Structure 1
Amino acid sequence: MKRLKNYYMHLRHHHHHHHNSERKWVYPLAIGSMLSIFLLFLATLTSPAGSPFYRSVTTTYSVFVESKLHPLPISTLPPPPRIAYLISGSVGDGNATKRTVLSLYHPQNYYILHLDLEASPQERLDLRDFVRGSELFQRFRNVKVISKANLVTYRGPTMVANTLHAAAILLRECGDWDWFINLSASDYPLVTQDGWFLISERDLLHMFSYLPRDLNFIDHTSDIGWKDHQRARPIIVDPGLYMSKKQDVFWITQRRSRPTAFKLFTGSAWMVLSRSFIDYTIWGWDNLPRTVLMYYSNFISSPEGYFHTVICNAQEFRNTTVNSDLHFISWDNPPKQHPHYLTVDDMQRMVDSNAPFARKFHREDPVLDRIDAELLSRGPGMAVPGGWCIGSRENGTDPCSEIGDTAVLRPGPGSKRLEILISSLLSNESFRPRQCI
C-alpha cells in the first residue's frame, strides 16, 4: 500500500505541473476551494442533519472534480470498478470462449461474447445455450452473446468494426462500467478479478480501485519503422466489409503518402480503455474518430493502429495513456507476424512478468489447467471464486453456488505481482515520458 501512495504522489505532481499555462488559475481555484470548505463547515454546524450532510457532500466531491486526470485519495475510494469485456473468437473457439469467460467472471462486470461468421450457426447456438443455461449468468444477467455475428477478416478493418460494435452495445445496454477490455478466445487471465479468502493472487478489481478511472492502458508508439513501407503506404480492401464469406484482403497497386491531418501511431491490438474514451470513439463529437476510421479502413492490420492514432491525436485523451497492453506475449526478436503459443515451459516467465493477461494459448493446453490450479483456484467448469462466493469447497463443491455481497472485495495477501507492474508503469520514468511519443 505504501507503494501505491508513492505513485499517487507522482501522479499528483505530474498532473499539476504538466501544463505551465494552467498555473494562472491555480491560486484562484485554491482560494475558492478554501472558501467553499469554510461555508460547508458552517452549514454542518447549522444543518439539522449535522454530520451526515457533510459526509454525503464530501464523498461526492472526493471522487472527481473535473474530467481530467485526477488521483483518487486512498482514504475515500469509490466503489469497486466495473469492467466490460469483449471476448471474441472464430470457428472452433466456442469451448475456449466458455472457459475464458468463466476464468474472468465477476458479478459486477459485463461480458460480450462474439463468434464471427466463420463459426457455424450450431457453434454459436451452443454458446448462447451455455449462457442461458448458466444459473450464475442468468442471476446477474451480465453475459451477452452477439446474435448477429460479424464477418471478421484477419488483418482487416472488420476487427476494428467488431470491437466498436461490441463497445456500442456495452454503452447502450450494460449500464455503468469503467473500463473496456478486448480479449480473444486464445487469451487467458493470470490474476483473479476478486481475491478469494487467503489463496488468491492480488486481484484485478482491487488494484484498479486505486486508479483514476480515465487511464487508458494501450501499448503505442509513433516510431512505426518498417510499418511505414509495409502498412501505411499500401492500400488494401477488406472483402469482409461487403461479402458474406471470409476472404483475405487484397491489395491495390497504387500507394499513398503519410497523412498530414493527424500523426500515425501503432502498437498492440489488445488494450484496456476508459469508458470516457470509448464514449468518444463511438460518438466522435469532433469527428476525429470517424476520420481516422475511414483512413484505417484501407490499412493493413488496422487494429494495431486505429485506437492508438485516435487517442494520441485527441488533446483530451493523449495524457491519459499508460504505455502497456497488460499482456504477457512471447515474440521472436525481431517480432514476426504471430507470437509464440505459450506452454507449461512459459509458466514461470508469465508469473514473473506481473501481467494480468497472457496470449496466445492452444485450446485446452495443459498450461491452462496449471494456471487454473496455481493462480486462479478455479475448479473445472466453474467460475473463478471471489469474495462474493461464500459456499464450501469441500469435496469439489463450487463455492460460488452460495453468493454473498458482490460489492465486497477480499484481496489475498499473496503475491503482489500486479501492484508491482502498475507501480512501475505509473512511475516517473515510465508514465509521462512514454505517452504518445
Structure 2
Amino acid sequence: MWIDSVAHFSDSDMVSTLLSDLSHVLLSVSRDVNFIDHTSDLGWKEGQRVKPIVVDPGLYLARKTQIFYATEKRPMPEAFNVFTGSPWVVLSRPFLEFCVFGWDNLPRTLLMYFTNAVLSEEVYFHSVVCNSPEFKNTTVNSDMRYMVWDNPPKMEPLFLNTSDYDLMAQSGAAFARQFNKDEAVLDMIDQNILKRSQNRVTPGAWCIGGKNWWMDPCSRWGDVNMLKPGPQVKILGDSVQRLLQDLSSESNQCR
C-alpha cells in the first residue's frame, strides 16, 4: 500500500519504494493488461459530466480559473458507448501507443468528443479501451486503490486516519487516498511499511552506508537503479493475482 495523496516524505522516497514492489509484482503480469476501473452504468454522471459542454480557460491562460458551462447540452453519442470510472489507471504500453497513434481513428474521435467534457479523465481511457475490439478484453476492473467512502458516497472519499491503518495495510492495494497533511497514520506507514526513520529517506537496496545502528544506512549510495521489494510485496502480489484470476470474468469485461 502506497500514498497518492498529501504525504510528508519526498516523492523520490515514495517512487523508489513503490517501483521496487510494483516492478517485482508486475514482472509476472502480461504487458497487455490494463488496470482500469470502468462501468457503462453512468447514472448521474450522464447528465452532470457527459452531456454538459464546458470550456476550461486554464488550458489557455497562465492562471487557474473556473470552467465555463455552455447553455446547451449535447446528446449522447450513437457511434460509441460511454464508459466511466476512476481517474486513476495503470495502462499498458500497447494501449497507450494505440491512444497516441490512433490507427483506427477511435482515440482521436473520443478525444475530440471529451475535450469539452467535465472531468474527461473519468471517461476518456475507459471509453477508448471498452470500444476497441483489440483492447476491450485486456481490462482488470480495479484502480488498485484503498479508499473509504460515505454511505451514500460523496464526491471525495473520507480522509484516512489511524483507525483505518490495519484494514488499509492488509488490503493489498497499491495506493491509498486521501490523507490530511501530517496525519498520524502517515507516521505509522513510515514506521511499519516503509521502515523510514524520522528525518531520513526511505531505505532501499541502493543504501550501502550506516553499518552501525545509529548511522543513516542511506548516508552512502550504491547503484541507484537497484530495486529491492519491501515488506508489503507479498500482500500486494497476492492482491494482484486475485485480480488477474478474474481477468476473463464478467466483472472485468466491458459491459
Q: Is residue 324 from structure 1 mapped to residue 142 from structure 2 by the alignment?
A: yes
- Give the root-mean-square deviation of aligned CA atoms: 2.5
Indicate conservation of the 8 Å contact 1:383/1:400, yes or no: no
CA shift at 1:406, angstroms? 3.8
Measure, in 2, the Cα distance between the counterparts of 1:222 and 1:242: 32
Q: Identity across aligned pairs (percent)?
A: 45
Of 96, 119, 130 in structure 2, the residue corresponding to residue 278 of structure 1 is 96
Closer/same/farther in 2, CA of residues 294 and 364 from structure 1, 3 Å limit: same
Structure showing greater radius of gyration is 1
Higher normalized contact order (CA 8 Å, seq sep 6+, divided by chain length): 2
Measure, in 2, the Cα distance between the counterparts of 1:312 and 1:340: 29
The aligned amino acid for 2:86 is S
Measure, in 1, the Cα distance between the counterparts of 2:174 and 2:214: 29
Counterparts in 2 of 1:13-52, with a 5 A limit? none
Measure, in 1, the Cα distance between the counterparts of 2:153 and 2:33: 28
Count of matched residue pairs:
250
Give the TM-score normalised by the residue count of structure 1. 0.53
Measure, in 1, the Cα distance between the counterparts of 2:61 and 2:215: 48
Counterpart position of 2:221: 402
Counterpart position of 1:102: 13
SS for the counterpart of 1:309 is helix
Q: Which has the higher helix share?
A: 1
Counterparts in 2 of 1:260-409, with a 5 A limit? 260-392=78-210, 394-399=213-218, 401-404=220-223, 406-407=225-226, 409=227
Alignment deviations for residues 283-342 of structure 1 (CA, whole Å, 9 cap, x no partner): 222222222111111211211111111111122221111111011111122221111111
Measure, in 2, the Cα distance between the counterparts of 1:412 and 1:361: 22
Q: What residue ranges of structure 2 are gaps of 5+ in the alignment?
A: none
Give the TM-score normalised by the residue count of structure 2. 0.87
Counterpart position of 2:70: 252
Counterpart position of 1:151: none
Counterpart position of 2:249: 432
Counterparts in 2 of 1:100-249, with a 5 A limit? 100-105=11-16, 192-194=18-20, 203-249=21-67
CA shift at 1:395, angstroms? 1.1
CA shift at 1:422, angstroms? 1.1
Alignment deviations for residues 263-297 of structure 1 (CA, whole Å, 9 cap, x no partner): 10100011111122222222222222222111111
Alignment deviations for residues 193-228 of structure 1 (CA, whole Å, 9 cap, x no partner): 43xxxxxxxx22211111111211111111111211
CA shift at 1:255, angstroms? 1.5
Alignment deviations for residues 3-59 of structure 1 (CA, whole Å, 9 cap, x no partner): xxxxxxxxxxxxxxxxxxxxxxxxxxxxxxxxxxxxxxxxxxxxxxxxxxxxxxxxx
Closer/same/farther in 2, CA of residues 317 and 401 from structure 1, 3 Å limit: farther
The aligned amino acid for 1:269 is P
Measure, in 2, the Cα distance between the counterparts of 1:347 and 1:306: 33
Closer/same/farther in 2, CA of residues 412 and 366 from structure 1, 3 Å limit: closer
Measure, in 1, the Cα distance between the counterparts of 2:175 and 2:128: 24
CA shift at 1:99, angstroms? 2.1
Closer/same/farther in 2, CA of residues 358 and 309 from structure 1, 3 Å limit: same
Closer/same/farther in 2, CA of residues 224 and 352 from structure 1, 3 Å limit: same
Measure, in 2, the Cα distance between the counterparts of 1:333 and 1:424: 26
The aligned amino acid for 1:100 is D
Measure, in 2, the Cα distance between the counterparts of 1:410 and 1:355: 19
Measure, in 1, the Cα distance between the counterparts of 2:69 and 2:204: 49
